[in-house]
Amino acid sequence: MDELPIGRRVAYWRGRRKMSQQVFADRLGKSKSWVDKVERGVRRLDKFSVVYDIADVLQVDVTLLLGKEVERKPEAQNCIDQVEVEEIRAALERYDQMSAFFQAVPHSPPLPEMRKAVSHAWLTYQHAKYGVLARALPKLLRDAQAADSAHANSDEASHAAHLLGQVYQIASSALRKVGEHELSWLAADRSIAVSQRAGDQLLAGLASYRVGSALLALGRVRPSLEVNVNIANRLAPIGPERPKAEQLSVYGMLLLNGAMAAARIGDTATVRDLICGAEQASLELGGDFNYYWTSFGPTNVQLHRCATAVDLGDGRLAVETHLSMDKTGFQAMLPERRAHHYLDIARGYTQIGDVEKAGEMLLEGDRLAPSEIRCRPLAHEVLSDVLRRTRGTPPAPIAELAEQMGVGV
């Protein structure tokens, strides 16, 4: 799209936003005729102030209008590409709550409609449909921000804040998957502030989990360990009363995330302690559940045993743990969790020199949730390693996957 004149780019993004020329013109304070002439190239856009106004209405970075857009790759159609990253970035850079202090709050969808959209986004993420999610996230972010502003002084304020906090967490998780770690941290940090306004300790705890994940991805391992353990300690079930299932789930996930950070610095003792604490919580919970979208339970604890073993360099332990897992519990896990696990076990097999089994694990993950394998930089690294260490010609399915992912030896 780089070669298109700016008017055509304006028309393209207006179409992406599903705005008519009249609606677009009204929001710009221009006539429909003016918009039509700009899009056809009859009228030039020679004032930067007008270009910036257009970018603001279309909710895109101005560089996209000026022809700096990164070309979409066909193989990335089910992933989050740079166009969608920039749209999400633009949504995260909005400060609607501050704007609402000075002017009327923009229209927002009804909260029941928002709840359905947020639940659908969570399920889309947990089924690893990252391309679908990426195309929905910018609008969902804007709608949730508008709803939060619109209900700021009403009885529904905490409910609107809760929904926005969830949307920030969904965005953080999706961005981290595709390597946008700084943006992932920003979204998670926003969720902490919003979750506090929502008055929900567990949502704030999960926001801390997302912050810990983003910090870990950024290589900030010790801060990641600290934030997970500190918040887990505050949510720890104590006292004679039986803890709620939701509390056990969030508490357990914080411990597991802390274990991942501890593994990254080779702290085997801390990994063991945190995994054991999470295992105890999962036994109290009594099974695998998806409270607060955590997928927490005994099976997820086992998945993290494998993942931490891999990060500690003990591929053999990871593979042995994988082979001894409860197959029924594993099959009941959502696709994102299972495909993520196959990627971890592929890494484990490479550590013990079995590149053939590593390739099989990548193929299993790809069959289950293609985006979890094809969209993640880590999976590209593992596949490249498998290809490099394969003697002779790689098996046809691996060669085909490599071609589709654009991975060479």
Question: What pLDDT, on a 0 to 100 scale, did the predictor assign at position 70?
Answer: 41
Provide block-wise average pLDDT over 10 residues at a time, the chain (409 residues).
Answer: 72 85 89 91 79 79 64 54 80 62 62 95 95 90 91 92 97 92 94 94 97 96 98 90 93 98 97 98 96 97 98 97 95 96 98 97 96 92 95 93 85
Domain boundary among 69, 94, 125: 69
Domain span holding position 87:
81-219
Query: 357 lies in a domain?
Result: no
The answer on 98 and 3 residing in a single domain is no
Query: 154 lies in a domain?
Result: yes
Q: Which two tokens stand for residue 394?
A: 């790689």
Query: 355 lies in a domain?
Result: no
The answer on 104 and 192 residing in a single domain is yes
The answer on 175 and 105 residing in a single domain is yes
SS (H, E, C) the chain: CCCCCHHHHHHHHHHHCCCCHHHHHHHHCCCHHHHHHHHHCCCCCCCHHHHHHHHHHHCCCHHHHCCCCCCCCHHHCCCCCHHHHHHHHHHHCCCHHHHHHHCCCCCCCCHHHHHHHHHHHHHHHHCCCHHHHHHHHHHHHHHHHHHHHHCCCCCCHHHHHHHHHHHHHHHHHHHHHCCCHHHHHHHHHHHHHHHHHHCCHHHHHHHHHHHHHHHHHCCCHHHHHHHHHHHHHHHCCCCCCCCCHHHHHHHHHHHHHHHHHHHHCCCHHHHHHHHHHHHHHHHHHCCCECHHHCCECHHHHHHHHHHHHHHCCCHHHHHHHHHCCCHHHHHCCCHHHHHHHHHHHHHHHHHCCCHHHHHHHHHHHHHHCHHHHHCCHHHHHHHHHHHHHCCCCCCHHHHHHHHHHCCCC
The answer on 65 and 85 residing in a single domain is no
Query: 243 lies in a domain?
Result: no
The answer on 211 and 86 residing in a single domain is yes
Backbone angles phi, psi at 226, to 5 degrees: -65, -45
Query: 14: domain CATH number?
Result: 1.10.260.40
The answer on 142 and 52 residing in a single domain is no
Query: 265 lies in a domain?
Result: no
Domain boundary among 69, 94, 129: 69
Domain boundary among 154, 186, 219: 219
The answer on 168 and 202 residing in a single domain is yes
Question: What pLDDT, on a 0 to 100 scale, did the predictor assign at position 90?
Answer: 82
Question: What pLDDT, on a 0 to 100 scale, did the predictor assign at position 68?
Answer: 54
Query: 63 lies in a domain?
Result: yes
Q: What is the pTM of this model?
A: 0.80
The answer on 215 and 90 residing in a single domain is yes
Question: What pLDDT, on a 0 to 100 scale, did the predictor assign at position 102?
Answer: 42
The answer on 204 and 145 residing in a single domain is yes
The number of distinct structural domains making up the chain is: 2
